[in-house]
């Protein structure tokens, strides 16, 4: 195992420092924005700005990487991302922060693209599962560690911004000094969204819904916790509980989905997550300590939803369509993540802090109802033809030349029939 992972040591070290800094930055900006008196809508738009930049990075990043190759692209994007952290501390004006979050989202999309394409190119079919399993574990652990670093000092001070910038800057060092060969520049990819929808309506809708709820949660979850507990430490604990519970839920839920029609676990995940979200909204008023128990239930189930949808779509596409499907689903997730924070912030302004989880519950219930309807329209994939579940945390792929409709001749004929 050690000999298998050793060639990836520099990449893993870089991504650990980078995501630790990003985890700290994510909660720090929301808490600091609250201290500075930003409205719920203004804070929500910070999350939307990040995902707008992330989408642009997915679309334009491949051209940048192809031009300067992986190592130079990585170091340039990390340098820019580190700089934006410091500008946040210098200029606390909402529209400036929105612009900075857009730039940060673009940089991180390109960085993820570099890292994950490098891992894919340097691993084989025999060890790719191990490599990405370790990568996913590192993601969750260091993001949690970064969030907990919020407790090290007062968010109103400059020091936490400096720590974030240091972590992001240092992430460039291992990649810049690695002796491992760079992979070839990325190839362009055509995405046909209509084709993808006709292939798997539930998976397609689920990717969009996952973006809505995850974008809203990541952008506004710290604000909810801040208003709930009025305590910086509680913000870090609240977010960390959700992330670690999500890490624990990925594999058991995924393995269950390998044994049955995946729409069943998708519906169960939607219903349980929606119930937990409603519970969090109610507990914030009537049972304050219960918020922490219920957010663990929410994280355990809700964070597995996107991976379930990816696996469901892959059950219907041909082997040579996996990359296209992954790119299309990521695009839909990103679009949802742009809209989600704005919806969540409007709900918080209308219904109070619990409004965030009310809108999340509504989205999940809508997706669960749609999946239930589809179960009566289309038979499940036979078990012997079903693909294997794999965790899908923030997997980015090379996406360009996006075709939002696709040729009509390319759209598969889907046989609508009652479920067996």
Question: What token pair was written down for 243?
Answer: 């992330």
Looking at the fold, whether 327 and 282 belong to one and the same domain comes out as: yes
Q: Give the model's pLDDT for residue 383.
A: 53
Cα 121 to the chain's mean position, in Å?
A: 22
Distance CA 216, CA 346 (A): 11
Q: Give the model's pLDDT for residue 378.
A: 66
The residue among 237, 216, 241, 307 whose CA lies nearest residue 269 is 307
Average pLDDT, the chain: 81
Model pLDDT for residues 172-222, shown as the tens digit of each residue: 998 888 877 777 765 655 667 788 888 888 989 998 999 999 989 988 998
Distance CA 102, CA 285 (A): 34
Q: Give the model's pLDDT for residue 48.
A: 86
pLDDT at 351 > cutoff 80 = yes
Q: How large is the average pLDDT for residues 115-135? A: 65
Give the model's confidence band at 4: pLDDT under 50 very low, under 70 low, under 90 confident, else very high.
Answer: low
* Phi and psi angles of residue 368, each rounded to the nearest 5 degrees, phi first: -60, -40
Last residue of a domain, one of 166, 187, 208: 187
- Residue, of 11 and 214, whose pLDDT is higher: 214
Looking at the fold, whether 251 and 160 belong to one and the same domain comes out as: no
* Phi and psi angles of residue 355, each rounded to the nearest 5 degrees, phi first: -60, -30
Q: Give the model's pLDDT for residue 397.
A: 39
pLDDT at 90 > cutoff 90 = yes
Q: Torsion angle, CA of 382/384/386/390, rounded to 10 degrees?
A: 150
Lowest mean pLDDT among 32-36, 81-85, 290-294, 402-406: 402-406
4-13, 76-85, 114-123: which is most confident: 76-85
Distance CA 158, CA 156 (A): 7
- Residue, of 152 and 134, whose pLDDT is higher: 152
Looking at the fold, whether 401 and 281 belong to one and the same domain comes out as: yes
Helix axes 355-375, 201-229, angle to 10 degrees: 160
pLDDT at 98 > cutoff 60 = yes
Looking at the fold, whether 258 and 396 belong to one and the same domain comes out as: yes
Which range marks the domain in which residue 60 is found? 1-187
Distance CA 182, CA 69 (A): 8
∠ CA 178-179-180, nearest 5°, is 90
Q: How large is the average pLDDT for residues 409-418? A: 46
Tell how strand 402-403 and strand 191-192 pair up: parallel
Looking at the fold, whether 395 and 285 belong to one and the same domain comes out as: yes
Model pLDDT for residues 292-323, shown as the tens digit of each residue: 999 999 999 998 888 888 777 877 776 555 55
Give the model's confidence band at 139: pLDDT under 50 very low, under 70 low, under 90 confident, else very high.
Answer: confident
Looking at the fold, whether 28 and 53 belong to one and the same domain comes out as: yes
Burial of 33 from C-beta contacts in 10 A (0-12 / 13-18 / 19+):
buried
Question: What token pair was written down for 104?
Answer: 């940060």
Strand, coil or helix: what is 299? Answer: helix
> How many domains would you assign to the chain?
2
Distances (CA, A) of 204 to 22, 49, 58, 118, 382: 28, 23, 18, 27, 20
Looking at the fold, whether 306 and 404 belong to one and the same domain comes out as: yes
Strand, coil or helix: what is 192? Answer: strand
Query: Which residue has tokens 């977010």?
Result: 239
Share of the chain above pLDDT 70, in %: 80
Looking at the fold, whether 270 and 302 belong to one and the same domain comes out as: yes
* Phi and psi angles of residue 402, each rounded to the nearest 5 degrees, phi first: -75, 125
Q: How large is the average pLDDT for residues 144-156? A: 88
Question: What token pair was written down for 46?
Answer: 């910070």
Q: How large is the average pLDDT for residues 241-269? A: 84
Contacts from 321-326 at CB under 8 Å and sequence distance 24+? Answer: 323/189, 323/397, 324/189, 324/190, 324/191, 324/192, 324/196, 325/196, 325/199, 326/395, 326/397
Q: Give the model's pLDDT for residue 1.
A: 58
- Residue, of 409 and 155, whose pLDDT is higher: 155
Contacts from 235-238 at CB under 8 Å and sequence distance 24+? Answer: 235/27, 235/31, 235/150, 236/27, 236/147, 236/148, 236/149, 236/150, 236/151, 237/148, 237/292, 238/291, 238/292, 238/295
- Residue, of 89 and 136, whose pLDDT is higher: 89
CATH number where 2 lies: 1.20.1250.20
Burial of 303 from C-beta contacts in 10 A (0-12 / 13-18 / 19+):
buried
Last residue of a domain, one of 169, 187, 205: 187
Give the model's confidence band at 356: pLDDT under 50 very low, under 70 low, under 90 confident, else very high.
Answer: very high
Q: Which residues of 325-357 are buried (b: 16+ CB within 10 A; e: fewer)?
A: bbbbbbbbbbbbbbbbbbbbbebbeeebbbbbb
Looking at the fold, whether 166 and 205 belong to one and the same domain comes out as: no
Lowest mean pLDDT among 23-32, 72-81, 264-273, 326-335: 326-335
* Phi and psi angles of residue 418, each rounded to the nearest 5 degrees, phi first: -60, 145
Find the DSSP H helices in 171-200. Answer: 172-177, 193-199
pLDDT at 111 > cutoff 50 = yes
Looking at the fold, whether 143 and 273 belong to one and the same domain comes out as: no
Q: Give the model's pLDDT for residue 130.
A: 61
Distance CA 108, CA 380 (A): 37
Lowest mean pLDDT among 133-142, 202-211, 284-293, 334-343: 133-142
pLDDT at 49 > cutoff 80 = yes
Looking at the fold, whether 273 and 129 belong to one and the same domain comes out as: no
Looking at the fold, whether 320 and 181 belong to one and the same domain comes out as: no
Q: How large is the average pLDDT for residues 246-261? A: 79
pLDDT at 420 > cutoff 80 = no
Q: How large is the average pLDDT for residues 350-359? A: 94
Distance CA 280, CA 296 (A): 10
Last residue of a domain, one of 134, 157, 187: 187
The residue among 85, 109, 115, 81 whose CA lies nearest residue 13 is 115
Distance CA 111, CA 267 (A): 34
58-62, 217-221, 384-388: which is most confident: 217-221
């Amino acid at each position: 195992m050690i000999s298998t992972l050793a060639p990836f040591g520099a990449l893993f070290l870089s991504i650990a420092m980078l995501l630790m800094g990003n985890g700290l930055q994510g909660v720090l900006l929301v808490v600091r924005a609250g201290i500075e008196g930003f409205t719920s809508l203004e804070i929500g738009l910070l999350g939307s700005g990040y995902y707008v930049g992330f989408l642009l990075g997915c679309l334009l990043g491949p051209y940048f990487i192809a031009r300067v190759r992986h190592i130079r692209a990585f170091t340039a994007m990390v340098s820019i991302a580190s700089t934006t952290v410091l500008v946040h501390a210098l200029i606390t004006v909402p529209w400036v922060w929105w612009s900075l979050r857009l730039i940060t989202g673009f940089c991180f999309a390109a960085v993820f693209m570099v890292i994950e394409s490098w891992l894919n190119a340097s691993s084989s079919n025999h060890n790719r599962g191990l490599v990405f399993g370790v990568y996913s574990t590192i993601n969750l652990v260091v993001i949690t560690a970064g969030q907990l670093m919020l407790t090290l000092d007062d968010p109103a001070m400059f020091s936490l911004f400096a720590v974030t910038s240091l972590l992001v800057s240092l992430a460039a060092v291992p990649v810049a000094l690695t002796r491992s060969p760079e992979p070839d520049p990325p190839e362009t990819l055509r995405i046909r969204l209509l084709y993808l929808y006709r292939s798997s309506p539930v998976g397609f809708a689920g990717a969009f819904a996952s973006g809505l709820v995850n974008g809203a949660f990541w952008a506004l979850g710290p604000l909810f916790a801040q208003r709930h507990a009025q305590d910086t430490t509680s913000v870090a604990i609240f977010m960390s509980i959700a992330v670690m519970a999500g890490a624990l839920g990925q594999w058991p839920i995924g393995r269950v989905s390998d044994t049955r029609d995946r729409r069943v676990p998708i519906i169960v995940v939607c219903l349980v997550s929606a119930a937990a979200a409603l519970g969090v909204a109610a507990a914030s008023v009537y049972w304050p300590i219960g918020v922490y128990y219920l957010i663990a239930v929410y994280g355990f189930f809700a964070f597995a939803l996107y991976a379930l949808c990816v696996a469901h779509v892959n059950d219907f596409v041909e082997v040579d369509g996996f990359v296209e499907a992954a790119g299309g689903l990521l695009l839909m997730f990103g679009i949802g993540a742009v809209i989600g924070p704005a919806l969540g912030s409007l709900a918080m302004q209308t219904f109070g802090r619990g409004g965030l989880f009310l809108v999340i519950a509504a989205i999940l219930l809508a997706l669960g109802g749609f999946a239930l309807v589809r179960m009566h329209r289309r038979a499940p994939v036979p078990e012997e033809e079903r693909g294997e579940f794999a965790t899908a945390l923030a997997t980015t792929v090379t996406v360009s030349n996006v075709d939002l409709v696709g040729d009509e001749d390319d759209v598969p004929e889907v046989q609508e029939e009652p479920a067996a």
